Amino acid sequence: MQVFRQDKKRWREFLIRLSRSAELIAPVKTDLLRFEPITDPEQIYLEKNAYFPLKEWFFRKEEVIFQFTGNKLTVPAFTAPKQRIFFGVRKCDLNAIRHQDMVFINDVGDPYYKAQREHSLLLGYHCNTAPSQYCFCGSMDLVDFFDLMFYDKEDYFLIEVGSDRGEALIAEHHDLFEQHNRLITQDEKHIPGADRLKVKDIAHLYDNPGWKEGVDKCLSCGACTALCPTCYCFEFHDETKLADPQSGERKRFWSSCQLQDFTRVAGDHVFRKEREERFKHRIYHQLDYFREKYGIQMCVGCGRCIEGCPTRIDFVDIINRMERPEKKEA
C-alpha cells in the first residue's frame, strides 16, 4: 500500500478543501462525541472514539420503505446523497461498516442501505493507544478497510492508501501530500492496551453459570444494541393518519434483541421470553452465530456496549473469568 506524508497545516487545508466539494463528516464534541457535518477542521475532536458509531449514517434509525394509498404502493426513489467524506473513523468502526456491508449489500442487496453507502469515502484515524478502557479491538480479527488511513505522528500524519478512490483523492490534492519512502509497519498498526478479550470461541461456555453476573444486572433496556456499530435488528411499522387511514407509510426502525417484544409473534408467542436468553443471544450473535455464517466475528471490540450500559456490564470480563476461573479467586 502506498504511503504519503502530510504536515498538520496542510492537513487542515486538505479538510477545508474537502468540505467545499463534499459533505465532510467527522467526530464533534457536543453533548457527547458523535459524527456531524463540519466546515472547519477546528471542530474535529480526536482525543477519544465517538460515543455514537457511524452506523446511523448508512443503516438509518428510521427508513420509509414504501408509501401506500389503498392497494397502491409507491417505493421512494433510491437517491444517493451527494459525495460524503467521513474523517476520523477508527479501525473498529471501519470494520463494523465492512460487517454491515456483508449483511445489507452482499447478502440481501438492501437498496435503502446501498443508496446511503454510495458516494461515501472513509478516511480512518489510527488509534495510537486504546482510546477507552473498554476497547478490545486487538482481540478481534480486524482487517484494513478504508480509503485512506491517517497515522498521527504529532507534527504530521502518515497516510496509507487503501483503495483506488483514496488514491484518486490524494492525486486530486497532490500539492498537499509528499510521497513517503516506507510502508506502515505492523508495530505501527498495533494498538496497545486493546487486547482484553482472552477467548473468542465461546460455544463451550453457553451453559456456564458465570453468565448470571451479567444477566442479573441487565435491565433489557437495549442501550447496548443502539450504541453497537454492528447490531442490525429492525422492525416494521405501518403509520397512517386517523383522517385518512387508507394512506400511510411502512417504516423500518432500529430495534433490539434485548427487548422482549422483539420476538413476539402472532398468537402472542415470545421466542426469547427470559432475560438470560436475550442477554446471551446478543453476545453469541456477536461472537459465534455471525462467524458461523460470514466467517468472522461480528463484534469489532469497540467497547461501546460496555461504556454505554447503565449498569456497566462488561461481557469481556465475564467471558475472561469463565474461561479462566482461577483468576476470579486470585
Interface with ligand SF4 by CB under 6 A: which residues? 218-224, 227-230, 258, 286, 299-305, 309-311, 313
Show the cell assigned to 200: 473468542
Residue 85 or 94 having the CB closest to ligand SF4: 94
Q: How far is the CB of 95 from ligand SF4 (least distance, A)?
A: 9
Residue 41 or 222 having the CB closest to ligand SF4: 222
Q: How far is the CB of 130 from ligand SF4 (least distance, A)?
A: 12
Q: Helix, strand or coil for residue 267?
A: coil
Residue 26 or 318 having the CB closest to ligand SF4: 318
Q: How far is the CB of 241 from ligand SF4 (least distance, A)?
A: 33
Q: What is the identity of the amino acid at 24? A: L
Q: How far is the CB of 230 from ligand SF4 (least distance, A)?
A: 5
Q: How far is the CB of 316 from ligand SF4 (least distance, A)?
A: 8
Strand partners, 123: 87, 148
**Alpha carbon distance, N-terminus to C-terminus of the chain:** 46
Distances (CA, A) of 170 to 121, 163, 234: 12, 11, 38
C-alpha to C-alpha distance for 37 and 120, rounded to whole angstroms: 13
100: phi then psi, degrees, rounded to nearest 5: -70, -35
Q: What is the identity of the amino acid at 317? A: D
Q: How far is the CB of 119 from ligand SF4 (least distance, A)?
A: 25
Nearest to 90 by CA among 59, 51, 61: 51
Q: How far is the CB of 129 from ligand SF4 (least distance, A)?
A: 17
Residue 157 or 232 having the CB closest to ligand SF4: 232
Residue 160 or 288 having the CB closest to ligand SF4: 288
Contact 272, 255 (CB under 8 A): no
What letter does residue 4 receive in the DSSP assignment?
A: E
Residue 7 or 144 having the CB closest to ligand SF4: 144
Most distant CA atoms of the chain, gap in Å: 68
C-alpha to C-alpha distance for 112 and 94, rounded to whole angstroms: 20
Residue 24 or 126 having the CB closest to ligand SF4: 126
